[in-house]
Structure 1
Amino acid sequence: MEGEATYRGAVYPWHCDHIGHMNVMWYVGKFDEANWNMFARLGLTPTYLRESGCGMAAVQQTIAYNRELFAGDVIEVRSRLAEFRDKSLRIQHEMRNAETGDIAATCEITAVHIDRAAHKSVPFAPAIRYAAMPHLVLAEPVTA
């Protein structure tokens, strides 16, 4: 998957479970950090979220684990904006072992733009839509 680098880091020993590989909670955390980097590129910056009274709420997240990661592995997450709607967006992430290039995991998340006080979804501001559009990468058609 092409996309923008949204996270780079390493697997530390405390990220690993009793089997010796990175525990699922750390995959989720690293994908979450990638989300926030992607949100900022779309104009959903910390300043915007604080000043607008809006927030982003995850409503669906799907993770596929492809290869184990171990302490000492260096990883990179690349992300793309796959869908942008009036009140929601969908981001796809791909986590790779930076040394081998192997895909360790993929994640797709759907998030909704909300009014934090009302706890209801609200449309994105035009400025957010304008900032997001250059990042929108439509899926390539499947050929038989």
Structure 2
Amino acid sequence: MPPVPPHHETVPAAWTDYNGHMNVAYYVLAFDHATDAFLDAAGLDAAWRAREGRSVFVVEAHVTYDQEVLEGAPLRIQPRALAVGNKSLRLFHTMHHAGEGYLAATNEVMLLQVDMASRRTIPWDEATRARLQALVEADGSPWPEQVGRAIGRR
């Protein structure tokens, strides 16, 4: 069992395009919803943001589109913490069709912790970094092949 539960979502009609499948922009939105669910589960929720005056900003993202999903498709997005740095958190998400089980897409994101007053990056406090590191270590499996990919010819 992964340390953070999967996020579930269903593809609404408004998310589909002229090809009849989910538009690329909405994959990113669904992954962003899963990131928010991960952050809530990791204790980096609205209460933490208000109490600490901190937040996280996504500074880089990469999506692979592996198989299309259509209107009404049930999605299961599993977040995974890959690495935590001094100020950073690297997440990876897999999106599966929850009914048929196939891999639909992946998403890798790099987040930085930001002090909301100065809007500058700041290091994690010791307790938060330890909590995030525990989530990284909870999944001992190798990193997925999509991690670190870049656009290019094969």
Whole-Å separation in 1 of the counterparts to 2:55 and 2:141: 26
Q: What are the equivalent positions in structure 2 for 1:1-144 lying under 5 Å apart? A: 4-136=4-136, 137=139, 140=142
- In structure 2, relative to structure 1, the CA distance for the partners of 1:141 and 1:22 (3 Å cut) is closer
TM-superposed CA distance for 1:50, in Å, is: 1.4
Whole-Å separation in 2 of the counterparts to 1:141 and 1:76: 19
Whole-Å separation in 2 of the counterparts to 1:82 and 1:7: 17
Whole-Å separation in 2 of the counterparts to 1:115 and 1:6: 28
Scaled by the length of structure 2, the TM-score of the pair is 0.85
Post-superposition, which runs of at least 4 consecutive aligned residues in structure 1 deviate over 4 A? none
Whole-Å separation in 2 of the counterparts to 1:18 and 1:84: 39
TM-superposed CA distance for 1:30, in Å, is: 0.7
Task: From the two aligned structures, give the one with the greater strand fraction.
Answer: 1
Whole-Å separation in 2 of the counterparts to 1:139 and 1:61: 22
- In structure 2, relative to structure 1, the CA distance for the partners of 1:104 and 1:50 (3 Å cut) is same
Equivalent residue letter for 2:81: L
Equivalent residue letter for 2:92: Q
TM-superposed CA distance for 1:141, in Å, is: 7.5
Whole-Å separation in 2 of the counterparts to 1:85 and 1:41: 19
- In structure 2, relative to structure 1, the CA distance for the partners of 1:112 and 1:90 (3 Å cut) is same
Scaled by the length of structure 1, the TM-score of the pair is 0.90
TM-superposed CA distance for 1:36, in Å, is: 0.9
- List per-residue Cα deviations over 1:78-109 (Å, max 9, x = no partner): 01100011100100000000111110000000
Equivalent residue letter for 2:88: S
| Structure 1 stretch displaced more, 54-63 or 128-137 | 128-137
**Identity of aligned pairs, percent?**
26
- List per-residue Cα deviations over 1:15-66 (Å, max 9, x = no partner): 1001100011211111001101111222211101112111111110000000
Give the secondary-structure state (helix, strand or coil) at the position aligned to 1:79.
strand
RMSD of aligned residue pairs (Cα, Å): 1.8
Q: Which runs of 5+ in 2 are unaligned?
A: 145-154
Q: Which runs of 5+ in 1 are unaligned?
A: none
